[in-house]
Structure 1
């Protein structure tokens, strides 16, 4: 995780706006944690059902393949949520260090509208279009 030691305080947002973004980020974090728990629970159910089935029809290649596809889907969704949680943690760190809302590519402010939709965004629309995919 990226972490700066000394605050720089060059965020384009007021303290009140930063508090709003921090609240949004913490809510996103809780939602993401719930999703991971749900996905892990569903994954455990799939694996338990796979272990419980004893007839040869249940272990038919097609059925096993479908179950494997579902398991893979849940592993991917869990990984995506964990990546999102890391991005949220980095955004919270940027609030703490005073550089929240600054594009990591251009060094210019990220549009407030973009952050209201994706509060953990680290790139401006301009940078996203031209120089990065995140």
Structure 2
């Protein structure tokens, strides 16, 4: 079992590389949270604002506003999911399994992790999906 642990350690990113990935992920989380808060604030503002002029166009405006709110909620939900995936990546950094493809067991290239820091699949595994 000790041989297996030693082999695992040679097939992972260094602590320094993991720290660099951690900083990248933390900055992406901060930006994603800011985007999500902005979207939710926009929805809140649109619910509180608006005029009560009445008139023939009111129902069209209501439908448009509803569609816009639904779209913003969906975008906020996607941001929340993205944040959750990034936070899961932080967990993998902590347990030193970050950057290891969950299908092949090989290291995911640094370039891919820089572009998609929450990925758990190498391009080889992703293309086979």
TM-score, length-normalised on structure 1?
0.83
Name the CA shift for 1:64/1:30 in 2 (closer, same or farther; >3 Å): same
Q: Secondary structure at the match of 2:117?
A: coil
Q: Which residue of 2 aligns with 1:27?
A: 27
Choose which of 65, 70, 73 in structure 2 pairs with 1:72. Answer: 70
Q: Deviations over 1:19-74 (max 9, x none)?
A: 10000000001001101110111010111124xx2221386221111101110111
Q: Which residue of 1 aligns with 2:3?
A: none
Q: Is the 8 A contact 2:39 2:75 kept in 1?
A: yes
In terms of fraction of residues, the more helix-rich structure is: 2
**Which has the higher Rg, Structure 1 or Structure 2?**
2
Q: Alpha-carbon deviation of 1:129?
A: 1.1
Gaps of 5+ in 2: 1-7
Gaps of 5+ in 1: 1-7
Q: How does 1:1-134 map to 2 (within 5 A)?
A: 9=9, 12-50=12-50, 53-57=51-55, 60-131=58-129
User: C-alpha separation between the residues in 2 aligned to 1:63 and 1:93?
Assistant: 45
Alignment length, in residue pairs?
A: 122
- The RMSD of aligned alpha carbons is 1.8
